[in-house]
Structure 1
Amino acid sequence: MKQVIGTERKPIKLWLDDIEEGALDQAKNLANLPFAFKHIPIMPDSHQGYGMPIGSILATKDVVVPNAVGVDVGCGMCAMPTGLEHIETEDLKKIMAGIRARIPLGMKWHDERQDESLMPEGAEELDIVGRGYVKACKQVGTLGGGNHFIEIQKGDDGKIWIMIHSGSRNLGAKVAAHYNHLAKRLNERYFSSVERKVDLAFLPIETPEANAYIKEMDYCIAFALANRKLMIQRVAEAMKEVVGEFETGEIINKSHNFAAWENHFGENVLVHRKGATPAFEGELGMIPGSQGSHSYIVRGLGNPESFKSCSHGAGRKLGRKQAIRSLDLEAEKSKLDALGVLHAVRNKSDLDESVSAYKDIETVMQNQTDLAEIVVRLSPLAVVKG
């Protein structure tokens, strides 16, 4: 931990020195919520989000806050080791083409519904999920846009790894928007002391609305995992088509946008993680850098001060519009070309995901040595972006 701010209702505990003003203001809003439990941890990759900083944790006892989970419910990462130790560059290029042929990117979906056995059960019992189910059947196994990625990486354990970052696609966005809007209306009706402008409307945990949100959130978390698992399967298919058969290891999965009941400081609390990865003692997770830097497989240390959490990545240094406006396209492409990475920066519009748009992952890792320990260091070989 780098510093503690004690000026608000609850302490703010930061694992970084350089938090931006907007993110700090949002952290203070969290700390002043009447239902915030114990303190507010801010991870080393933190930056400003919507209502709540990306890379922060809010624990509560009596309420659920939809916007403290965010719009991409269940967003997270999967990583899988393979039995491969090397892939030639020309083969990587063919594999990238195979991935793009199998996995819709950005706003694209499959033309046909995928096998429904891939989908979590129980959608028919839910309101928003039930209405979006048919579309979701075409979205499972699709990447999405923004900072979502597919990477083929080489680990310092000698293995080739596959890593995927994606979420619940349009399904989670619909659930998040519906229940955040519902929470705002209910808070206004009952004269909540939480100001509308902070965008942290809540649902009391004993209400039917909170119960409905948690059920739909849980479905979106399961759907997001199904989405990532199908993509990993199809990436492996694309690889095998080029290099032949190989063994695969167990998939490591971690969500970083969700809320879950956990026991901390002797009490059962609802822990909201928005861009923060669970780091319970001994559990494996992953912390990716940018497409031009290392990523890490880590083992959690179970630090109670962070509610047993760590960062979910490097974290943005520049906003998307700022990066596109201020960075030099050829310079960013040259950085990646020099590293030998088959990358996804081709046009000016891609600069929001360039190396310079992100914080230095090595500094981020150094700032959280008390939260997670490094197991494998991964270097990017080829990257697909949404």
Structure 2
Amino acid sequence: MKLMLTTERIPIKLWLDDIEPDALIQARNLANLPFAFRHIPLMPDCHQGYGMPIGAILATKEVVVPNAVGVDIGCGMCAMRTSVRDLGTSDLKKVLSAARKTIPLGNKSHQEAQDEACMPKGHETLNIVGRQYTKALKQIGTLGGGNHFIEIQKGSDGYVWLMVHSGSRNLGYQVATWYNDIAVALNKRYYSVVSAEIDLAFLPLDTQEAQDYIKEMNYAIAFAFANRKLMMKRMFEALQSVTGASKHGKIINKPHNFAAWEDHFGKRVLVHRKGATRAFEDELGMIPGSQGSNSYIVRGLGNPESFKSCSHGAGRRMGRKQAQRELDLEAEIAMLDQKGVVHAIRHRSDLDEAPSSYKDIDVVMENQKDLVDIVVELAPMAVLKGT
């Protein structure tokens, strides 16, 4: 931990010393919530979000806060080691080309519904999920846009790895917005002491609305994993078609937008992680850098002060529009080309995901040495991104 602030109702514990002012304001809002438990940890990739900072953890005992999970419920990472030892640039491009044929990128969906066997069970009893199920059958196995990616990486263990970052697509968004709207309406009706201006409306756990949200949230988390798993399967098939690879290791899966019941400081609490990864002792996880920097397979240390959490990535250094305005397109392309990364940065509009729009992953990892140990270092080789 780098710093602790004690000016609010409960402390704020920071694993960074360069937090942006707006993110700190949001963290102070969290720390003053009447139902916030113990303290608010901020991970080293922390930056401004909607209502709650990305890279923050909120524990509660009596309420659930939809915006403390976010609109991309279950968004997270999968990583898998393959049996391949190396790939040249020509083969990397062939793998990406094959993958594009089976994995829709950006806002694209499949033309046909996918096999229902890929979907989580239990949608029939859920309100919003039930309405979105047919559409979700065409969105499972699709990447989405923004900071979502599929990357081919060379591990320090000598093997080629595949990594997927994606979430619950429109299904999770619909669940999140529906229940946040309900929370806003209920808080207004009952004159909540939590100001509507801070976008942290809550649902008391003894209400049917809260129980319904938790059920639908858990389905969205399961759907997000199923989505990543199907993309990982098809990415491996693309790799297999070029290299003849016949086997791979187990998939490591970690969501970083979710709420779950856990035991901390002698209490059973609902831990909301928004852009933060669970890092229980000996638990494997992933911390990606940018498409121009290394990513990491890590093992959690179970640090209680972070509610046994770590960062979910490098974290943004500048906003998307700011990156498009200020970064040098030719310099960003040259940086990736010099490292031999097969990428798709071509236009100024792509600069929102350029390497320089993200924090230095080496600093981020140094700041959380008390949260995780590095198991494998992964260098980027080729990346697929949506727009």
So what's the TM-score if we normalise by structure 1?
1.00
Tell me the equivalent position of 1:323: 323
Q: What is the aligned length?
A: 386
2:191 corresponds in structure 1 to: 191
Q: What are the superposed Cα offsets for residues 59-118 of structure 1, whole Å, 9 maximum, x if unpaired?
A: 000000000000000000000001111111101111010111110001000000000010
- One-letter amino acid matched to 1:225: F
SS at match of 2:379: strand
Match of 2:83 in 1: 83
Q: CA deviation at 1:360?
A: 0.1
Structure 2 counterpart SS, 1:102: coil
State how far apart, in whole Å, the 2-side matches of 1:195 and 1:157 are. 50
> 3-state DSSP class of the match of 1:341?
coil
| Matching residue of 1:260 | 260
Q: Which runs of 5+ in 1 are unaligned?
A: none
Following superposition, the deviation at residue 343 of structure 1 comes to 1.1
1:100 equivalent in structure 2: 100
Q: Secondary structure at the match of 1:223?
A: helix
Deviation at 1:246, TM superposition (A): 2.5
The amino acid of 1:239's aligned partner reads L
Within 5 A, what are the aligned runs for 1:108-147? 108-147=108-147
1:330-345 equivalent positions in 2, closer than 5 A: 330-345=330-345
Q: What does residue 279 of structure 1 align with?
A: 279
| Residues 290 and 355, structure 2, Cα contact 8 Å, conserved in 1 | yes
Q: Tell me what 2:246 maps to.
A: 246
Q: Which amino acid aligns with 1:60?
A: T
**DSSP 3-state at the match of 1:114:** coil
**Alignment partner of 1:67: what SS?**
helix
1:219 counterpart SS class: helix
Q: Percent identity?
A: 69
Q: Secondary structure of 2:13's match?
A: strand
Where does residue 373 of structure 1 map in the other structure?
373
Q: CA deviation at 1:247?
A: 1.4
**CA positional deviation for 1:328:** 1.1
Following TM superposition, by how much is the alpha carbon of 1:229 offset from its aligned partner in structure 2, in angstroms?
0.3
* Matching residue's letter, 1:74: G
In the alignment, is the contact (CA less than 8 A) between 2:291 and 2:380 conserved in 1?
A: yes
Q: Which residue of 1 aligns with 2:161?
A: 161
Distance 2:126 2:341 in 1: 43
Q: Structure 1: which amino acid aligns with 2:187?
A: N
Three-state SS of the structure 2 residue aligned to 1:121 is coil
User: What is the alpha-carbon distance in structure 1 between the residues aligned to residue 240 and residue 155 of structure 2?
Assistant: 19
What's the CA shift string for 1:32-57, capped at 9, x where partnerless? 00000000000000000000000000
Distance 1:345 1:171 in 2: 29
Letter in 1 for 2:211: N
**Whole-Å separation in 2 of the counterparts to 1:206 and 1:250:** 39
- The structural deviation recorded for 1:124 is 1.1
- For 2:311, the equivalent position in structure 1 comes to 311
Deviation at 1:274, TM superposition (A): 0.0
Q: Which residue of 1 aligns with 2:226?
A: 226
Measured in 2, the distance between the counterparts of 1:166 and 1:192 equals 34
Kindly state the Cα deviation for residue 345 of structure 1 after the two structures are TM-superposed: 1.0
**Residue in structure 2 matched with residue 27 of structure 1 by the alignment:** 27
CA distance in 2, matches of 1:315, 1:203: 29
The equivalent of 1:39 in structure 2 is 39
Check whether the contact 2:66–2:202 (CA below 8 A) recurs between aligned residues: yes
Quote the residue 1:288 is aligned against: 288
Corresponding residue SS for 1:87: coil
- Structure 2: how far apart are the matches of 1:150 and 1:51? 28
- 1:202-261 deviation line (CA, Å, top 9, x unaligned): 000010000000000000000000000000000001111111133100000000000000
CA distance in 2, matches of 1:344, 1:68: 32
Q: Which residue number in structure 2 is paired with residue 67 of structure 1?
A: 67
Corresponding residue for residue 359 of structure 1: 359
SS of equivalent residue, structure 1 residue 150: strand
Structure 2 CA distance, aligned partners of 1:66 and 1:247?
40
CA distance in 2, matches of 1:37, 1:85: 47
CA separation in 1, counterparts of 2:66 and 2:48? 17
Tell me which residue corresponds to 1:209: 209
Question: For 1:296, what is the secondary structure of its paired residue?
Answer: strand
Aligned counterpart, 1:171: 171
Moved over 4 A (4+): none
Kept after mapping to 1: 8 A contact 2:84/2:245: no
Deviation digits for residues 164-194 of structure 1, max 9, x if unmatched? 0000000000000000010000000000000
Gaps of 5+ in 2: none
